[in-house]
Amino acid sequence: MKVREEKRGTVIFDTLNEKVYTINETGAGILKLLLSGNTLDGTAKILAQDYNSDEAAVRSDVIQFVDELAARSLVNKVPAT
Amino acid sequence: MSVETEELSEEPSLDDLTGPYYVAWWITNRCNLLCVHCINDSGPFHQFDNELAGEEIERVARQIVELGVPQGSITGGEPLIHKDFFKVAAYLSDNGVSLNVETDAQLINRETARRIARLNLRAMQVSVDGATQSTYGLMRRTTTGSAELFRVLDAIRMLAEEGVRVSVNFVPTRFSANEVGQVIDAVAALGAKTFYTGRIMRVGRAAMNWKWLAPTEAQYQGFFATLNQKAKEYSGRVRIIYYPYTVTHELKFRTENPAASFVILPNGKVKMIASMPFLCADLRRHSLAEAWERYKIAWKHPMVREFSEKVKDDDPMLASNNSFVELDLEQPVIQSKV
């Protein structure tokens, strides 16, 4: 999977299956945090602080987003080390 | 502010992209073989006079990375005989470009397979066009005779053993289409993971040899039936991917729906699509980013649209794909050049 900033948002390239997806700013923010090495919990914590939101609710949204990516085989979910 | 789950939507429009998402880099037109169906009209003495070299090659590779091109291929001619092949492939792969290399695999020995394994490619795409030496040799010619099938099969085995992901490309002809099932069985047993095929493209040398190469429609029916059967048989083990349409169908579709990809020729010129002769940029004069902007404009060029509208499945125009035509994208007047 490759990620590139485009004129109207962020694009995900599924280089294995040769598919392209667009995601909006919030999805891009989640992906950026995950790709820079944050865990799901860490990502939720940062976003909850940034948006002054309830961490548990944000975590649920982050997981839902990652599940969507996993369903398209764009990411694999692994336990945090 | 709450975080909302974002829906993923499908492919963005070409105008929204800051660069291509696939670049096919035809790095040399020199080849160890002289195949009867070569779309690029490559061969041992077919190197372009002015192929990119040294610093020019490095600059193009750097621009591919800088523009964030996510995937590409290195093709030819035979890429492995280009002196900078390993350097370029390693640079692109190490810098995040998911890379496919198209090869006839005739020159791959154990040492080469190990070097290729270190490149961490998306796949090494090997051409295998027959299950028997007589069929393979009819298509894969050398200056003195025929290329040898056993070398390709050995190469696939060695690549797979060294951990390289191998895909196989098969071009059906009147005398090879009925061997597709045997080829799939053979390459699957050797460790190939993906099998690509489709109708033979009526371009380049294939167009010139069309009368004795093109399968009949009845042959195609049997060919596609075998592919469907093999796809079921190898489900979960080998991906069998085929494109059932003609090159003309593809060309007309692409004129209305251009792909975010183009071809870099050995001399640095940028070709819009393999099946048309049109060039839209020159990487000796334009950056890759500029080439991308020119590519988008070029699809609206009247000459391109006229070609696409006029061309038919049996059209001799298709043989002209390597008689390159430079589009003048600054002026409404068209400039032609072979």
ipTM of the modeled complex: 0.70
Residues A35-48, buried b or exposed e (16+ Cβ, 10 A)?
A: eeebebeebbbbbb
Q: Where are the alpha helices (DSSP H) in B239-287?
A: 247-256
Give the 3-state secondary structure of residue B151: helix
A22 or A30, which is more confident? A30
Q: List, in sequence order, every beta strand (DSSP E) within chain B.
A: 22-26, 71-75, 98-103, 123-127, 166-170, 194-198, 239-243, 261-264, 269-271, 278-282, 325-326
Chain B residues inside the 8 Å CB shell of A49: none
Q: What is the mean pLDDT of residues B98-121?
A: 97
Q: Do A23 and B21 touch (CB under 8 A)?
A: no
Check CB contact under 8 Å for B17 and A11: yes
A75 contacts A69 by C-beta, under 8 angstroms:
yes
List CB contacts (< 8 A) between A72 and chain B. 8
| Amino acid letter, residue B27 | I
Instruction: Please compute Rg for chain A using Cα positions.
Output: 13
Q: Could you give the angle at the alpha carbon of B204 between the alpha carbons of B33 and B169, nearest 5°? A: 60
pLDDT tens across B204-258, in order?
Answer: 999 999 999 999 999 999 999 999 999 999 999 999 999 888 888 988 999 999 9
How many Cβ atoms are within 10 Å of B286's Cβ, its own excluded?
A: 17
Length of chain A: 81
Tokens found for residue B103: 């090869």
Output the pLDDT for position B217. 95
CA distance B241 to chain A (A): 11
- Using pLDDT thresholds of 50, 70 and 90, give the confidence band for residue A25: confident
Q: State the average pLDDT over residues B104-128.
A: 98
- Both tokens of B324, joined, read 């390159």
Q: Is A49 on the interface with B (CB under 8 A)?
A: no
Percent of chain B with pLDDT over 70: 94
B337 bridge partner residues: none
CB of B43 within 8 A of CB of B31? yes
**Among A13, A34, A38, which would you mutate to test the B interface (most chain B Cβ atoms within 10 Å of its Cβ)?**
A13
Whether A14 contacts chain B with CB within 8 A: no
Chain A residue numbers with beta carbons less than 8 Å from the beta carbon of B4 are 26, 61
Side-chain-side CA neighbours of residue B249 (13 Å): 8
Q: Which amino acid is at A73?
A: S
A9 three-class SS: strand
Q: For residue B106, what pLDDT band results from cuts at 50, 70 and 90?
A: very high
CA distance B250 to B257: 10
User: Does residue A27 have a cis bond before it (omega within 30 degrees)?
Assistant: no
Report the predicted TM-score, pTM, of the whole model to 2 decimal places: 0.88
